[in-house]
Amino acid sequence: MYTGLILKESLKNTGILTDGRITITKEEKWNVERTAVDWQPEEWTAIYVEGADKDIGDIAVIVSNSILDKWYANLSDSTTDYVIFQRKIFSYAKGDADKKQEARRYGKSIGVPEHQLDW
């Protein structure tokens, strides 16, 4: 089973959350006024998701096509982590520090605040 976290405010199309291959397991509001930057809202809705391992690649593409610029989402299964940006998906074996850093560098290069690249 894959699991993940998607911020509702990061999506231009929240309809993807009703895809039958995505199950929302929990939703919570986060007050982030101290860490949000000027173009981000001060409250975020964290949506925890899960689904069948076989669907993780398709779901990563759907999220990538629906996420706004300068945001990212995370999915993972038992062996692989996915960091999903608009039109760019990093997937790497859990524990691969080099690939993790590559994804962080990319996020920083597109304007994701460095202090938010903390996965």
Q: Please, which residues have CB within 8 angstroms of residue 49's CB and are 6 or more apart in sequence?
A: 3, 4, 5, 6, 17, 22, 23, 24, 25, 75
Parse the chain into domains and list their residue ranges.
2-112
Rounded to an integer, what distance in angstroms lies between the CA atom of residue 84 and that of residue 93? 15
Distance CA 65, CA 60 (A): 9
The tens digit of pLDDT for each residue in 59-112 reads 999 999 999 999 999 999 999 999 999 999 999 999 999 999 999 999 999 999
Query: What's the N-to-C CA distance of the chain in angstroms?
Result: 20
Report residue 119's pLDDT band, with 50, 70 and 90 as the boundaries: confident
Amino acid found at 19: D
pLDDT in tens, 8-41: 999 999 999 999 999 999 999 999 999 999 999 9
Entry pTM: 0.94
